């Protein structure tokens, strides 16, 4: 897999799904992200990060609850949201941000 910092520096915006395997609401996010990917295609890259396996990253990004979505563009965090966001709300929001 590519280096995460290289992925984040890309000109393609990156949506990071911070999740935990024990988190109930996190299980609702994958179908939402599939819908986002189907709609937005190559405009956006989606990366999933398990906060329990990546504790240094979750501390760096100050993840206090899951699921949390982070949107990076050219290495800069431009948007974050905790909780489940339905696809019909998330897609227009992402299109506006990127």
Collapse the DSSP code of 41 into the 3-class scheme (helix H, G, I; strand E, B; otherwise coil) and give the result: helix
Give the tens place of pLDDT for each residue, 44-78. 999 999 999 999 999 999 999 999 999 999 999 99
Burial 5-24, CB ≥16 within 10 A → b, else e: eebbeeeebbbbbbbbeebe
Catalytic positions, please? 23, 26
- pLDDT at 87 (0 to 100): 97
**pTM for this prediction:** 0.94
- pLDDT at 32 (0 to 100): 98
Which of these, 98, 79, 95, 97, lies nearest to 87 by C-alpha position? 95
Domains of the chain (ranges; CATH) run: 4-97 (3.40.30.10)
- pLDDT at 23 (0 to 100): 97
């Amino acid at each position: 897999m590519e280096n995460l910092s290289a992925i984040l520096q890309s000109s393609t915006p990156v949506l990071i799904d911070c999740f935990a395997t024990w988190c109930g609401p996190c299980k609702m996010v994958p179908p939402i992200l599939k819908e986002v990917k189907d709609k937005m295609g190559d405009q956006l890259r989606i990366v999933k990060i398990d906060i329990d396996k990546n504790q240094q990253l979750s501390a760096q990004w100050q993840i206090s609850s899951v699921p949390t979505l982070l949107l990076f563009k050219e290495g800069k965090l431009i948007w974050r949201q905790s909780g489940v966001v339905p696809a019909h709300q998330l897609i227009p929001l992402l299109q506006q941000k990127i």
